[in-house]
Amino acid sequence: MRALYKHHAGVGLALDDSRAKPSPGPRDVLIRVAKAGICGTDRHIWEWNPWAASRVPIGIVTGHEFVGVIESIGSAVTRFQPGLRVSAEGHITRGIDYNSRTGNAHIARGVEVIGVDRDGCFADYIVMPEDNIWPMHPDIPDTIGAVMDPLGNAVHTVMEAGVSARTVLITGVGVIGLMAVTVAKAAGASRIFCTDLDPRRLDLARKLGAVEAYDARDPAWVDDVRNNCRGEGADVLLEMSGAESAFNQGFAALRNGGKAALLGVPAKPFPFDFNANVIFKGVTLVGIYGRRMFKTWYQMEELLLSGRLELDDIITHEFPLEQFEDAFGEMISGRGIKVVLNIGD
């Protein structure tokens, strides 16, 4: 089969035309991949940044966001049959630690991530455990099926924060931040404020329902958000940039007693004033990782079926697998927002 894999400890990925097709274990399914989304994580692996170099084994097939069709099943699989169109939760847990057994498998110890710790989906076929399979509703198209993973990050963040009838500030409108705008709107946020550096993404955030979208480089936005929210600040902060300035300004624009859900991953540690930003403000903090298994997936499906999510403008490019260099180029340049690889026919 064809597979896009990490061929050396440096920049780039290589396409192998004759990789052995994986075979499912007794409780696995083999999936023929149709479409796969390129994620910021894949970009880190492409660029071989310090995180990737410390975590990702050479030789691994990348990619973790996909939709496809079950080709064959292991001998002990009972719930699914070949021919079913599916996506899958890419975080694999063994289900034996405290969090796995108490409804928090997304933060279980020893989580294995496809395309990072084991072979991923930028290939004609991928093997997944039966427990990770998410059957795709027939009304949800493949292009959306390819981005269930990042959409799930957005849904998880919005739902943990609780946005109904609240003012929401989103710092950073990359793919997941833009998805969070439409998800927060669908989930009943009263008014949404956004910041970013890219004017095109700010325009798109407005189109998706943000009442104000600010260039983060002009710190006057902090007072503007506070003034727009009774002089007190936004009820909810969704931090999706990982930028030091966004943490400092975002918490300054959050009202006392507000809630902050943190999804963006800072590249390195930085000083942060807990007294002013959290303790004396009585702020509630929640870290967001992955998707709740599988509460987030049910919420995501319902939001998609409601018809209230606008995702078409976020998925800007599709390329055949062979044109992976162009696909990564569009994404890394910032011209592409969400870029999808067409792998199957």
Of the residues 7, 8, 41, 167, only one is catalytic, namely: 41
- Beta-sheet strand order (sheet of 191-196): 212-215, 191-196, 167-171, 234-239, 254-262, 284-287
Burial 237-268 (b: 16+ CB within 10 A, else e): bbbbbbbeebbbbbbbbbbeebbbbbbbeeee
The answer to whether the bond into 294 is cis (omega within 30° of 0) is yes
Give catalytic status of residue 137 as yes or no.
Answer: no
Helices (H), the chain: 40-47, 50-55, 98-101, 142-145, 148-161, 175-186, 199-208, 220-228, 244-252, 274, 295-305, 324-333
Closest residue to Zn ion: CB criterion: 39
Q: Burial, 134: exposed, middle or buried (Cβ in 10 Å; 0-12, 13-18, 19+)?
A: buried
CB of 340 to Zn ion, least distance (A): 12
Q: Burial, 36: exposed, middle or buried (Cβ in 10 Å; 0-12, 13-18, 19+)?
A: buried
Task: Take residue 159 and report the two structure tokens written for it.
Answer: 């739902």
Q: Tell me, what amino acid is at 63?
A: G
Sequence-ordered strand ranges (E) for 19-132: 28-38, 65-73, 85-88, 91-92, 112-113, 125-129
Which residue's entry shows tokens 């075979």?
A: 23
CB of 174 to Zn ion, least distance (A): 11
Sites of contact with Zn ion (CB under 5 A)? 39, 149
Q: Which is nearer to Zn ion, 39 or 114 (CB)?
A: 39
Sequence-ordered strand ranges (E) for 249-337: 254-262, 284-287, 315-320
Q: Tell me, what amino acid is at 41?
A: T
Of the residues 7, 8, 44, 284, only one is catalytic, namely: 44
Give catalytic status of residue 64 as yes or no.
Answer: no
Q: Which is nearer to Zn ion, 42 or 235 (CB)?
A: 42
Round to whole Å and give the CA distance between 21 and 139: 30
Q: What residues act catalytically?
A: 41, 44
